[in-house]
């Protein structure tokens, strides 16, 4: 691909998008130029196939470029080449090759955000998950590589550093190391930044719960947790092979909230898993209410090829959709209540991204999405009063007496 004009489309999780940034750096080192689709000599699609709707979108995008010099990477070619070949005949870039040909585990994100890929794969055996088949068993990045990446990103001005992986809480398990110890060492890196922890399986969190809470006491760690629980029914969790109970989830949430009452804890739920009864769904709704999860991702179950759950009988789509709507309505009420408790309060903020001209996206220590309607430089830090709830973010007004400072 030396010296070619390349167009890239990237889909999926933070980890996948970080792979795209690595790939871009490799291509630029080969003298390539990133362009739009019309003028490109070659097209690369970094795919995701976590649910059926995503798979169908990927196949549509691949078909749209079937007459071009097309390359495919990401999860899909690792587990669904037959489906890919039904719409095109692309070249394949294995994700491992991207890692082998790039330096370090950190990449810049948008604005003042950096991303560090701490691990790929997982230790779980979830019956519905195709990502587990694509990414394989847990492979943790060496602690020194992670620390080097954090140092580099912090020195480059990142004030938010995202640790990403399929299960961040499992980092180091295969080597007898632990995430809390890693966070303590990261906290010693010079710079003014905070770490945002990525998705963590509750089963992995249980083994490090108290040390992880202690690690989050540092001002170098956002009081934010992404804890995908999927269901509130122990029977469904057992069929999913998740490795924990609803009571375990409540214990995790209560332990963190007792230490950090304002902590933002987000989650994922799957509605309509095969065999899910009305009573089992009711328990999921009760867990959502009891845990008061904020920023909830709700997906309707979709059968993924090659997984154990694919052999189970699907529930009607109507039931899956209705239950999704019920959960979403409750999740939005919880989101509003969480945001409204901030109204009138003063909080530290740091500017991390820009989405709309004339305004700036900031984060507070609980990772609250605070939009300040001013054009602030990345890394600006100050204090703001929260004035409005817009559900997916809040509006903050800078305190005039605090001019802030550049991180």
Binning the chain into helix, strand and coil, the percentages to the nearest 5 are: 35, 25, 40
Q: Cβ distance 202 to 227 under 8 Å? A: yes
pLDDT-derived band at 401 (thresholds 50, 70, 90) equals low
Q: What's the confidence (pLDDT) of residue 403? A: 47
pLDDT for 103 equals 87
Given pLDDT bands bounded at 50, 70 and 90, which one contains residue 400? confident
**Cβ density class 356-391: b for 16+ within 10 Å, e for less:** eeeebbbbbbbbbbbbbeeebebbbbbebebeebee
Q: What is the model's pLDDT at position 355?
A: 87
Q: Which long-range contacts (CB under 8 A, 24 or more apart) does 131-135 make?
A: 131/49, 131/50, 131/75, 131/166, 132/166, 133/78, 133/79, 133/306, 133/307, 134/49, 134/75, 134/76, 134/78, 134/79, 135/75, 135/78, 135/166
| 3-class DSSP state of 74 | strand
What are residue 315's DSSP bridge partners? none
> Going by C-beta distance under 8 Å and a sequence separation of 6 or more, which residues neighbour residue 332?
391
CATH number, span 346-406: 2.40.50.140
If pLDDT is split at 50, 70 and 90, which confidence band does 407 have? very low
Domain residue ranges in the chain = 5-98, 105-340, 346-406
What tokens does 348 get?
């530290």
209-223, 239-253, 325-339, 393-407: which has the minimum mean pLDDT? 393-407
Over residues 169-191, the mean pLDDT reads: 96
pTM for this prediction: 0.94
Residue 5 binned pLDDT confidence (cut-offs 50, 70, 90): very high
CATH for 105-340 is: 3.80.30.20
- Cα separation, 226 vs 201, whole angstroms: 9
Do residues 306 and 133 lie in contact, with contact meaning Cβ atoms separated by under 8 Å? yes
pLDDT, one tens digit per residue, over 341-394 is: 999 999 999 999 998 899 999 999 999 999 999 999 999 999 999 999 999 999
Separation of alpha carbons 290 and 334, rounded Å: 10
- Model pLDDT for residues 244-287, shown as the tens digit of each residue: 999 999 999 999 999 999 999 999 999 999 999 999 999 999 99
pLDDT at res. 262: 97
Residue found by looking up tokens 């370090």 in the block = 104
CATH topology of domain 5-98: Rossmann fold (3.40.50)
Tell me: pLDDT of 112 over 90. yes
Neighbours of 401 (CB within 10 A): 7
Quick one: CA torsion of 285, 291, 294, 296, rounded to 10 degrees? -40
pLDDT tens across 24-79, in order?
Answer: 999 999 999 999 999 999 999 999 999 999 999 999 999 999 999 999 999 999 99
């Amino acid at each position: 691909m030396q010296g070619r004009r390349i167009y890239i489309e990237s889909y999926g999780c933070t980890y996948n998008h970080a792979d795209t940034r690595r790939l871009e750096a490799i291509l630029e080192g080969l003298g390539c130029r990133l362009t739009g689709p019309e003028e490109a000599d070659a097209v690369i699609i970094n795919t995701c196939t976590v649910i059926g709707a995503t798979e169908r979108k990927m196949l549509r995008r691949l078909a749209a470029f079937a007459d071009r010099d097309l390359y495919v990477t990401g999860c899909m070619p690792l587990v669904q080449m037959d489906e890919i070949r039904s719409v095109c005949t692309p070249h394949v870039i294995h994700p491992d090759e991207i890692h082998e040909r790039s330096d370090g585990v950190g990449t810049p994100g948008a604005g003042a955000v950096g991303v560090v890929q701490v691990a790929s794969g997982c230790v779980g055996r979830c019956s519905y998950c195709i990502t587990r088949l694509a990414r394989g068993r847990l492979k943790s990045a060496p602690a020194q590589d992670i620390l080097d990446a954090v140092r580099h990103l912090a020195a480059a001005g990142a004030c938010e550093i995202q640790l990403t992986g399929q299960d961040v809480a499992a980092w180091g398990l295969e080597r007898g190391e632990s995430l809390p110890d890693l966070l303590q060492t990261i906290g010693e890196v010079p710079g003014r930044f905070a770490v945002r922890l990525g998705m963590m399986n509750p089963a992995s969190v249980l083994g490090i719960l108290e040390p992880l809470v202690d690690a989050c006491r540092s001002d170098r760690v956002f009081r934010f947790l992404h804890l995908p629980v999927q269901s509130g029914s122990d029977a469904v969790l057992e069929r999913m092979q998740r490795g924990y109970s609803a009571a375990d989830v409540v214990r995790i949430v209560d332990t963190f909230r007792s230490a950090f009452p304002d902590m933002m804890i987000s989650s994922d739920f799957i509605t309509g898993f095969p065999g899910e009864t009305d009573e089992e769904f009711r328990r999921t709704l009760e867990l959502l209410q009891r845990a008061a999860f904020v920023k909830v991702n709700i997906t309707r179950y979709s059968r993924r090829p090659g997984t154990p759950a694919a052999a189970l009988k699907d529930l009607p789509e109507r039931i899956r959709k209705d239950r999704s709507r019920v959960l979403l309505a409750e999740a939005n009420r919880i989101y509003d209540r969480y945001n409204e408790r901030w109204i009138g309060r003063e909080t530290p903020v740091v500017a991390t991204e820009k989405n709309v001209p004339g305004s700036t996206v900031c984060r507070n220590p609980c990772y609250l999405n605070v939009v300040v309607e001013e054009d602030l430089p990345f890394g600006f830090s100050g204090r703001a009063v929260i004035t409005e709830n817009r559900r997916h973010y809040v509006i903050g007004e800078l305190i005039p007496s605090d001019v802030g400072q550049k991180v």
